[in-house]
Amino acid sequence: MSGAGTTRSAGFQPAGAPASRRLFAPTRGRRDAGGPRKRAGSPRSGAIALLALLALAGPARAVLPGEQLADPRLEARARHIGAQLRCLVCQNQSIDDSDATLASDLRVILRERLMAGDSDRQAIDFIVKRYGHYVLLNPPFEPETLLLWLGPALVLLGGGIWVAMMARGRSGALQTAAPLTPEEREQLARRLDAETAS
| pTM for the model | 0.47
Identity of the amino acid at 80: H
State residue 80's pLDDT score.
Answer: 92
CA distance 42 to 92: 39
pLDDT at 125: 93
Rounded to an integer, what distance in angstroms lies between the CA atom of residue 189 and that of residue 121?
A: 84
Residue 148 has a pLDDT of 74
The answer regarding whether domain 65-135 maps to CATH 1.10.8.640 reads: yes
Looking at residue 59, what is its pLDDT? Answer: 47
Spacing of C-alpha 82 from chain mean position: 24
More confident residue, 7 or 138: 138
Of 89, 161, 81, 178, nearest to 127 by C-alpha is: 81
pLDDT at position 73 over 70:
yes
Q: Confidence band (pLDDT; 50, 70, 90) for 2?
A: very low
How would you write 152-173 as a 3-class SS string?
HHHHHHHHHHHHHHHHHHHHHH
Can you tell me the mean pLDDT for 170-177? 64
pLDDT above 80 (res 114): yes
**CA separation for the pair 78, 172 (Å, rounded):** 60
Domain boundary assignment for the chain: 65-135
